[in-house]
Structure 1
Amino acid sequence: MHDIVLIGLNHKTASVDVRECIAFTPDETERALVTLRNQPAISESVLFSTCNRIELLMTAAESQAAINAAKQFFSEFKNVPLSAFESALYHYTGDEAVRHTFQVAASLDSMVVGEPQILGQMKEAYRQATLEKTSGVILNKLLHRTFFVAKKVRTQTGIGDHAVSISYAAIELGKKIFGDLTGKRVMLIGAGEMAELAVEHLIRNRAGAITVANRTFARGVELAKRFSGEAIKFEEIPDTIKNVDIIISSTGATDYVLRKNQIKEAMKSRRNRSLFFIDIAVPRDIDPAINRISNAYVYDIDDLKDIVDENIEDRQREALKAQRIIDEAVIGFRKWYETLDVVPTIVSLRGKVEAMASQELKKTLGSLSHLSETDQRAIKRMTGALVNKILHDPTQFLKKNGCHGDKSVSLDLTRKLFNLEEDH
């Protein structure tokens, strides 16, 4: 019976420079899987590499041999001495390896608990392993179950509900202020990554027209085009302010981009309509003195951090519920895994065939009531002998590990062919 084994390092155990040395690009992952396929100590493998973790999930006849082989593989493939990263490695076997895999997919082991990207990255790693045929019966089942558990955690807990990124918190704040962002016109000052994330959240919340102002006009045009918005030049900002409801600023400027006198002027033509400024730049883009203008409200990154911290606490509470779902799933997977061993499968197979034979025998004898006791016993003996003869070859085949090859494949196929106590 093969063990499930996991070895890896992550943001908690290894610094970023160590992770960078061991990280695998998609091309390297492809080559790595081919190398692993030819490694005798490792039967199945899925290699998972992101900026925060590098993990190798395996099945092996002997777990310690697989761990040693994996360490050597990392060192040789990445051309890094083992001493440079060995102390950062963790490894799990059996239920603990299964539990860890579930936790990673459900984003309980992430830098930001509840972030959704991790699941997509794991699915991609699994897809590569299936293409290279390094994932077999056991890891296929484990990863399908993993994706199911991650989905269950996301739908049955609030682990991903609250804003834990600054850009997301900025939009949540806008929702609190307006009640609803539908149709609200937004100006983005700066077209970097923060602005991009903010636009994605705004679109999900059905915001209205989006205007992008960026010092490099071409970059502003590029971002605006992607989100069907409009790009303007920096000089046009004061004039455009008259027509927007929310301004989100995230430039790399060292001085204020918007000052009190500019806004005072722009507010005159707004007829008391509220204007909200969300400043996610460090140093700040928006003069805090704007807050003193009637109907103008400025929120900076510190206000947003308070929202994020509060929401991280909520996520930690939801993580406890998620843990319960995972514990149940580990028990469920263990039950399936145990069925891969020979005896339970043979017992299930014999039980099923005997039950069918017994049922048919009862039906037949019921319609042949004229038979003597001796004749009935003869038919019963014949039925028993038939069952034994039918089961003899499949039983021998399974006991001898399918004559050759991987026992788990034969057992899994037997359970599917005879539909033995299907695991739902």
Structure 2
Amino acid sequence: MNIILVGLSHKTAPVELRELLVVPDSRMGEALNRLMAHEGIREGMLLQTCNRVEVYAVADHVEQGFSAIQEFFVDTHLSVSAEQLMPRLYCHAEDRAITHLFRVASSLDSLVVGEPQILRQVKDSFQDALTHNATGVILNKLVKKAISVAKRVRTETRIAENAVSVSYAAVELAKKVFSNLAARTVMLVGAGEMAKLAAQHLVNHGVHEVLLTTRDPIRATDMAARFNGVSIPFEDFRADMHRADIVLCSTGASHYLIGPEDVERAVRARWNQPIFLIDVSVPRNIDPDVRQVDNAFLFDIDDL
């Protein structure tokens, strides 16, 4: 039995490619079943974050396992070709695969080194694999050890001393554009962990007003109360975008929520005052064609 890893990350592939390989939560069971159906794959776990998509597996043979996981990735999305994907993938076996997982779980391989979200994402991916009976004795032991190592790294080193995150980096980017956030209004689209962290950072930096929207109105209202913000009905947020100087989007949607037409209307309603959009979602939730709109400035996860 061999421990192997095949994946791609912000270091090897742009977000335009990474987002095509992301499996929605509703299809995770189907994806893991498809992975396990490959000959020679005995155990498997799919780890996907805004910066990486990786498969950790136990295989009968290393090269056969590499080929099986590569085929799994190619079959994930109809628009992904082997020629497009293969040069972006890295493949590790045994000690190198184990070391890589330890580095990932400890946030040493993150876009923002020291960010705390990756450990929770590893735990969630492990739980998904357990739920769908994709792991066994070897991966169970490996992932539990990786989680233990990551905790030790955070408690026994200074890596978390100045803890930052993707959300923090997004707010820092906003500060570079608008040096004084106290006079600015921010709209947060989404109520996930990154949106909550962004809201906290924005409040800490004295932002003038926070507008919040999500598909779940109760969560939006709760977040608005927590951060002294204003809840916007999800179906109305595009019509209210003109109120925001900064729009930060972080949702689990698998499609674009904001398009060029939405931003054009917002800019017109702002009398052509610039609007700044940050999309930290993977898959992306803001159409990249928004960059063609005058006085609209769009940044995605790879720009942070």
State if a TM-score over 0.5 links the two structures.
Answer: yes
CA drift of 1:40 comes to 2.2
The answer on whether the counterparts of 1:211 and 1:229 sit within 8 Å (CA) in structure 2 is no
Match of 1:191, SS?
strand
**Alignment partner, residue 181 of structure 1:** none
**1:66 and 2:62 matched:** no
Higher helix share: 1
The answer on whether the counterparts of 2:185 and 2:207 sit within 8 Å (CA) in structure 1 is no
CA distance in 2, matches of 1:214, 1:40: 51
> In 2 relative to 1, CA 24–189 (structure 1 residues): closer, same or farther, beyond 3 Å?
same
The answer on whether the counterparts of 1:48 and 1:55 sit within 8 Å (CA) in structure 2 is yes
The normalised TM-score by structure 1 is 0.45
CA drift of 1:222 comes to 4.6
> In 2 relative to 1, CA 191–92 (structure 1 residues): closer, same or farther, beyond 3 Å?
same
CA distance in 2, matches of 1:129, 1:200: 32
> In 2 relative to 1, CA 66–158 (structure 1 residues): closer, same or farther, beyond 3 Å?
same
Match of 1:107, SS?
coil
The answer on whether the counterparts of 2:187 and 2:210 sit within 8 Å (CA) in structure 1 is no
Among the aligned pairs, what percent are the same residue? 35
The answer on whether the counterparts of 1:196 and 1:223 sit within 8 Å (CA) in structure 2 is no
The answer on whether the counterparts of 2:114 and 2:163 sit within 8 Å (CA) in structure 1 is no
**Alignment partner, residue 190 of structure 1:** 185
**Alignment partner, residue 123 of structure 2:** 123
The answer on whether the counterparts of 2:210 and 2:228 sit within 8 Å (CA) in structure 1 is no
> In 2 relative to 1, CA 195–128 (structure 1 residues): closer, same or farther, beyond 3 Å?
closer
**Alignment partner, residue 225 of structure 2:** 226
Q: How many pairs were matched up?
A: 218
**Alignment partner, residue 50 of structure 1:** 49
Match of 1:115, SS?
coil
> In 2 relative to 1, CA 144–216 (structure 1 residues): closer, same or farther, beyond 3 Å?
closer
**Alignment partner, residue 245 of structure 2:** 251
CA distance in 2, matches of 1:27, 1:196: 23
**1:5 and 2:40 matched:** no
Paired letter, 1:251: D
**Paired residues for 1:137-286 under 5 Å:** 137-162=137-162, 164=164, 165-166=168-169, 189-193=184-188, 197=197, 199-201=199-201, 213=209, 222=221, 225-227=224-226, 229=228, 251-252=245-246
The answer on whether the counterparts of 1:8 and 1:55 sit within 8 Å (CA) in structure 2 is yes
> In 2 relative to 1, CA 59–169 (structure 1 residues): closer, same or farther, beyond 3 Å?
same
Paired letter, 1:190: T
CA distance in 2, matches of 1:38, 1:195: 36
The answer on whether the counterparts of 1:21 and 1:78 sit within 8 Å (CA) in structure 2 is yes
CA distance in 2, matches of 1:131, 1:51: 22
**Alignment partner, residue 408 of structure 1:** none
The normalised TM-score by structure 2 is 0.61
Paired letter, 1:192: M
> In 2 relative to 1, CA 83–157 (structure 1 residues): closer, same or farther, beyond 3 Å?
same
> In 2 relative to 1, CA 222–138 (structure 1 residues): closer, same or farther, beyond 3 Å?
same
> In 2 relative to 1, CA 58–188 (structure 1 residues): closer, same or farther, beyond 3 Å?
farther
**Paired residues for 1:308-319 under 5 Å:** none
Q: Alpha carbon RMSD of aligned pairs, Å?
A: 3.7
Greater gyration radius: 1
> In 2 relative to 1, CA 188–198 (structure 1 residues): closer, same or farther, beyond 3 Å?
farther
CA distance in 2, matches of 1:97, 1:216: 40
The answer on whether the counterparts of 1:211 and 1:230 sit within 8 Å (CA) in structure 2 is no
> In 2 relative to 1, CA 202–31 (structure 1 residues): closer, same or farther, beyond 3 Å?
same
CA shift digits 1:300-348 (9 cap, x unpaired):
xxxxxxxxxxxxxxxxxxxxxxxxxxxxxxxxxxxxxxxxxxxxxxxxx
**1:105 and 2:98 matched:** no
Paired letter, 1:46: M
Higher strand share: 2
